[in-house]
Structure 1
Amino acid sequence: MRSSLLIFLLLFLSFSTTQCAKSKDKSNTKFETLVWYDEFDIPGAIDSTKWFHQTQLPAGGDWYGGLINHYTDRLENAYVKDGFLNIVAKKEVFNDQGEIKEYTSARLNSKFAFTYGRVEVKAKLPKGIGTWPAIWMLNKNIDEPGAYWQKQGFGTTYWPVCGEIDILEHWGKKQNDIQSAVHTASSAGDDVVNLGGRLIENVSNQFHIYSLEWYKDRMVFRVDDLVHYTYKPDSIENPEIWPFNSDQYLLLNIAIEPDIDPSFIEDSMVIEYIRVYQ
């Protein structure tokens, strides 16, 4: 188990590095101060002060994109063990909200939201055709019944106008192919054009660090510190292409698509840590 000493050292180093950066370079933004994190040190259920289980089905009884799973708040689908968060997709018949589905998983919303900064997530991804794990962000103003920030009274804007940032998406039918994307009113869903990715060996057998740097005028996406996509529109004054000037929150989930391999039984997205710097 990582001790509180590690967090103290991270905070100390972040502060020290920030002071050096300020003295050396006042013209460029430096995201060096650790402002929020989860090191998954406490075994058992997720930390309810940091995370919210989103389980409410959208109108119609299915999750967006024709997904065929329930998201639950059970330990079987999300738990911390040995210093790692496990988000588990399972093949099982599950009856909830009047709908019977044959797969379960978890969808977590962070109770922390922020504007601009660097996100780092060290993760290992599940395997299996039809699995769709994601590490992503939504504006806390999204009008989505059942989401954490909607319940806090912030739901005023429909998707994709609110803006979505996909730090990582992975489809089991394209093993080792990872993608990052930016969804806006002008580029969303199946018609999204603001995206980039690369092949990464062993995404399901080894941990990799997936990161985003979100500036006032651009976003930079990396895996293990290598850039694979930069989103920098011509204008940030147009909300149809840049709705990214207000707070966003983090989401973690594994979705199950209709083409899931019939032999799939269970697999996990395993996360060692999540850190946000500003």
Structure 2
Amino acid sequence: MDSPRLLRRCLFAALSAALIASAAIGPADAADAAPKAASSEKVAAAAATFSDTFDGAAGSAVDSSKWQVETGDNVNNHERQYYTSGNNNAALDGQGHLVITARKDNPGNYQCWYGRCEYTSARLNTSGKFSAAYGRVEARMKIPRGQGMWPAFWMLGTDIGQVGWPNSGEIDVMENVGFEPSTIHGTIHGPGYSGTGGIGAAYSLPGGQAFADAFHTFAVDWAPDSITWSVDGTVYQRRTPADLGGKTWAFNKPFFLILNLAVGGYWPGDPNSSTAFPQQLVVDDVKVTTGDSSSGAPITGLAGKCVDVAGSSSANGAPVQLYDCNGTTAQKWTVASDGTLRALGKCLDVTENGTADGSTVQLWDCGGSANQKWVVTAAGDIVNPQANKCLDVTGNNSANGTRLQIWSCSGAANQKWKVG
């Protein structure tokens, strides 16, 4: 990415353990400091899921059991806003949305690094309330528009209080700067590749469409040693340790979520006379479906045997087969809300996007494509809608190691499955 986020540079590296231990960040604390990251999260994250559809009365604050609201300014990136508490700049609209509003005002006489603050906005995080290691992390949002606007949906490692930034790692699911209305960015930051050295890519809408004109879903599918970014189901980049040139991959551990709308700063530049206020980041929902290997349940079928990843391999292309049920992680599947079936942090995938009878199935990085979508019916079928075919045991053979495939649905015993 040509101009990556500079937010938190140097600041997080200087955070003390005592600062991290505070349950919330108040006006007297350092701006953009990360609040408490509970040590128990590393144990709990594996089976956790998160969903917020922001239902509630208009004007009410976000659910405090899921989010905490940060306060303060940010000298390190020279942003212009002051993040306020409560529902002053972050509130539900009564129609199932969270609205983060940036205003050109300062009713509280807040003081910023440059003097009296000119703008207010909001920043929320889930530290100490929710974290996850691996899975699908997504938000459906409509972003603001205008010079100086900087909305972001991103994550930080829960160990930031112990190791500092950038050793904690940072995953930017989506960032936009107002002077690029048709483009968003996804980036990773870690030790030796932070700040302007962050590794990422941009995605642009076709035909000059602006992201501010409609809701879009921004997501990462995250597995051990792999992160894949998508917009509205279209994958635009995948990163692995091979992209780091020997530097440390900082993303095989729990992270927490952050939503914010910044105003101004080194990257977006400051608002000017063309920028209309107020501006809003409207969030329809935020969902995390974990795909960690320790979550999930068996899928049993022919002869009481289980859907199994051969050799317990999480490599792309690992065959999916029938095998004696043994309780291993290679047989623990999660039926995700996005229509995928996940094990070992990856998705059940029809090989080479096949739709013909006999197309085999395998494990592959989750990418949101139609060959990774499945419907589990009440009749016990597992159907790939794109092919309109059922998950099938090849040749009706119940021997260990029999490869699974898709086949025209017939109701036969080798196409019947019990999930969980």
With the length of structure 2 as denominator, give the TM-score of the two structures. Answer: 0.52
Q: Aligned ranges for residues 1-278 of structure 1 at < 5 Å?
A: 35-43=49-57, 44-57=60-73, 62-81=74-93, 82-93=95-106, 94-96=108-110, 100-110=116-126, 111-142=129-160, 155-192=161-198, 194-200=199-205, 201-234=209-242, 240-257=247-264, 258-262=269-273, 263-278=275-290
Shift of the alpha carbon at 1:34?
A: 7.9
User: How has the CA–CA distance of structure 1 residues 251 and 231 changed in structure 2, closer, same or farther, with 3 Å as cutoff?
Assistant: same
Q: Is contact 2:69-2:86 (8 Å) kept?
A: no
Larger % of strand: which? Answer: 1
Q: Is contact 1:105-1:254 (8 Å) kept?
A: yes
Q: Is contact 1:34-1:275 (8 Å) kept?
A: no
Q: Partner of 2:54: helix, strand, or coil? A: coil
Q: Is contact 2:80-2:270 (8 Å) kept?
A: no
Tell me what 2:392 maps to.
none
Of 94-103 and 251-260, the range deviating more from structure 2: 94-103
Distance 1:213 1:264 in 2: 35
With the length of structure 1 as denominator, give the TM-score of the two structures. Answer: 0.77
Q: Is contact 1:120-1:276 (8 Å) kept?
A: yes
Q: Is contact 1:89-1:104 (8 Å) kept?
A: yes
Q: Is contact 1:35-1:276 (8 Å) kept?
A: yes
Q: Which runs of 5+ in 2 are unaligned?
A: 1-46, 291-420
- The percentage of counterpart residues that share the same residue type is 33
AA at the equivalent of 2:277: I
Q: Is contact 2:137-2:288 (8 Å) kept?
A: yes
Q: Which runs of 5+ in 1 are unaligned?
A: 1-32, 143-154
Distance 2:239 2:116 in 1: 40
Q: Is contact 1:90-1:104 (8 Å) kept?
A: yes
Distance 2:214 2:223 in 1: 29
Which structure: larger Rg? 2
Q: How many residues align?
A: 228
Distance 1:130 1:120 in 2: 24
Shift of the alpha carbon at 1:63?
A: 4.0
Distance 2:237 2:202 in 1: 7
AA at the equivalent of 1:89: A
- Which structure is richer in relative contact order (CA contacts within 8 A, separation 6 or more)? 1
AA at the equivalent of 2:187: A
AA at the equivalent of 2:96: G
